């Protein structure tokens, strides 16, 4: 066992997590959450605390063993507008708000790492930044605000961990290269011309127009995106009409688009706009298109992913660390990896038979708290391997 394992405040990590889970706050409104984090950090030695935005906290630890890199560790803190449906003793007391993505666990793990590392100042050559970030769940996201505030201007590398259920408790997945996808999409209103169903020649049928758009949009990936690249386009909504004998005036569509690299991302937007415009023109309809660009794909620098794999193996053992497939979701950690090299890791939160069968963003989402200490161990070991005295 590492000589610092007994310094991990295991019971406190659980206490912190349960308090946060019970008192969730939405994106950009994490006032009590961030103050709670600030107050805990204030009890640790050797940390300089700042508030780059009203609801974020950054703790800086400057090592006393000489010059070195500046390494950032990040945890997000916001909850989701979801009514919790678990039976946890510490379930949310805030109606319609829930930590359904595990950000409460991310904060608790990083507080645990800060607790351990703040007592190791004399062993570190370099600087650690503990970033407690607000508003991951709401575009444009808190990460970009912190980048704009200059939080990463002196950072050399950044690491983050996200908890995921349906994976072995305490296991750690690492994805070299693209770790998540970019998440874009659109909301579309098609303006046609209604009539009675017996006189279709008097109409511009938005259902017909929309149907042709759907079929044309579905061919964008197969006819424009190289087989070596990843792109997904899924129409999730199509609404029009209220009666079988009436042709409606309007139809609405919404769509989700997933990509990785920016060139393909831009190509998808270009082709979507062209298809919608040209099909509408062919039928004489008009459109209102709201194309929404979400977060970019997170890119884990392969060299850092390999380094993280080796560090994690030291504290978890080879059986719990593995190379994971890409996560088909989005994360605003991408705002950091656009600026500095980084690595984003996935922490297993428990299997279905352990009661962890619901994925993130589900009202019955839950995790095995036993996993959290492993997240703290990995964060601490990364810093020791990067900044510790050799």
- Predicted pLDDT of residue 2: 82
Bond from prior residue into 140 cis (ω within 30 degrees of 0): yes
Indicate if 136 and 186 belong to the same structural domain. no
Indicate if 220 and 150 belong to the same structural domain. no
Which residues of the chain, if any, have pLDDT below 50? none
Domain count along the chain: 2
Indicate if 195 and 263 belong to the same structural domain. yes
Indicate if 201 and 166 belong to the same structural domain. no
Q: Which of 99, 74, 105 is nearest to 335 (CA)?
A: 74
Q: Which domain holds residue 278?
A: 182-293
Q: Phi-psi category of 167—alpha, beta or left, where left has phi over 0 and alpha has psi -120 to 50?
A: beta
Are 129 and 69 a contacting pair, CB within 8 Å?
A: no
Q: In what order do the strands lie in the sheet with 342-348?
A: 47-50, 57-62, 127-133, 70-76, 157-164, 342-348, 172-174, 321-323
Indicate if 164 and 311 belong to the same structural domain. yes
Indicate if 259 and 351 belong to the same structural domain. no
Last residue of a domain, one of 278, 293, 308: 293
Q: Which of 14, 248, 58 is nearest to 147 (CA)?
A: 58
- Predicted pLDDT of residue 389: 75
Residue 136 is a catalytic residue: yes
Indicate if 93 and 167 belong to the same structural domain. yes
Instruction: Determine which one of 25, 84, 104, 136 is catalytic.
Output: 136
Indicate if 153 and 283 belong to the same structural domain. no
Last residue of a domain, one of 258, 293, 328: 293
Sort 351 into a burial class: Cβ within 10 Å, 0-12 / 13-18 / 19+: middle
- Predicted pLDDT of residue 390: 61
CATH of residue 380:
3.40.630.10
Q: Which two tokens stand for residue 286?
A: 């008009």
- Predicted pLDDT of residue 1: 61
pLDDT (tens digit per residue) in 173-208: 999 999 999 999 999 999 999 999 999 999 999 999
CATH of residue 229:
3.30.70.360
Q: How many Å from the N-terminal Cα to the C-terminal Cα in the chain? A: 19
Indicate if 153 and 45 belong to the same structural domain. yes
Indicate if 149 and 202 belong to the same structural domain. no
- Predicted pLDDT of residue 97: 98
Indicate if 151 and 251 belong to the same structural domain. no
């Amino acid at each position: 066992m590492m000589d610092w394992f007994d310094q991990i405040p295991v019971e406190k990590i659980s206490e912190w997590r349960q308090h946060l889970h019970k008192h969730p706050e939405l994106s950009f409104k994490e006032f009590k959450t961030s103050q709670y984090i600030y107050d805990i950090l204030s009890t640790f030695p050797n940390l300089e605390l700042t508030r780059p935005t009203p609801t974020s906290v950054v703790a800086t630890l400057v090592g006393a063993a000489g010059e070195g890199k500046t390494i950032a560790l990040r945890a997000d803190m916001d909850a989701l507008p979801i009514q919790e449906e678990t039976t946890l003793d510490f379930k949310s007391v805030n109606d319609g708000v829930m930590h359904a993505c595990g950000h409460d666990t991310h904060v608790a793990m990083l507080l645990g790492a800060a607790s351990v590392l703040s007592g190791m100042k004399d062993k570190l050559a370099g600087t650690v930044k503990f970033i407690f970030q607000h508003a991951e769940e709401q575009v444009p996201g808190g990460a970009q605000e912190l980048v704009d505030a200059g939080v990463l201007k002196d950072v050399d590398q950044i690491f983050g961990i996200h908890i995921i259920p349906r994976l072995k408790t305490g296991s750690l997945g690492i994805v070299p290269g693209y770790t998540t996808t970019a998440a874009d999409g659109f909301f579309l209103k098609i303006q046609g011309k209604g009539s009675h169903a017996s006189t279709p020649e008097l109409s511009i049928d938005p259902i017909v127009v929309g149907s042709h758009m759907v079929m044309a949009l579905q061919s964008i990936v197969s006819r424009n995106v190289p087989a070596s690249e990843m792109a997904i386009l899924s129409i999730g909504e199509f609404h029009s009409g209220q009666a079988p004998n009436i042709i409606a005036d309007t139809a609405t569509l919404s769509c989700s688009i997933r990509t990785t690299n920016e060139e393909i991302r831009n190509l998808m937007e270009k082709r979507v706009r062209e298809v919608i415009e040209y099909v509408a023109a062919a039928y004489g309809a008009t459109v209102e298109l709201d194309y929404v660009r979400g977060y970019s794909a997170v890119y884990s620098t392969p060299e850092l992913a390999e380094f993280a794999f080796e560090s994690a193996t030291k504290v978890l053992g080879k059986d719990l660390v593995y190379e994971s497939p890409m996560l088909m979701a989005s994360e605003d950690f991408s705002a950091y990896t656009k600026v500095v090299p980084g690595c984003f890791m996935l922490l297993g939160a428990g299997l279905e038979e352990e009661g962890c069968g619901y994925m993130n963003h589900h009202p019955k989402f839950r995790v095995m708290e036993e996993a959290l200490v492993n997240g703290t161990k990995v964060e601490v070991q990364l810093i020791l391997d990067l900044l510790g005295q050799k």
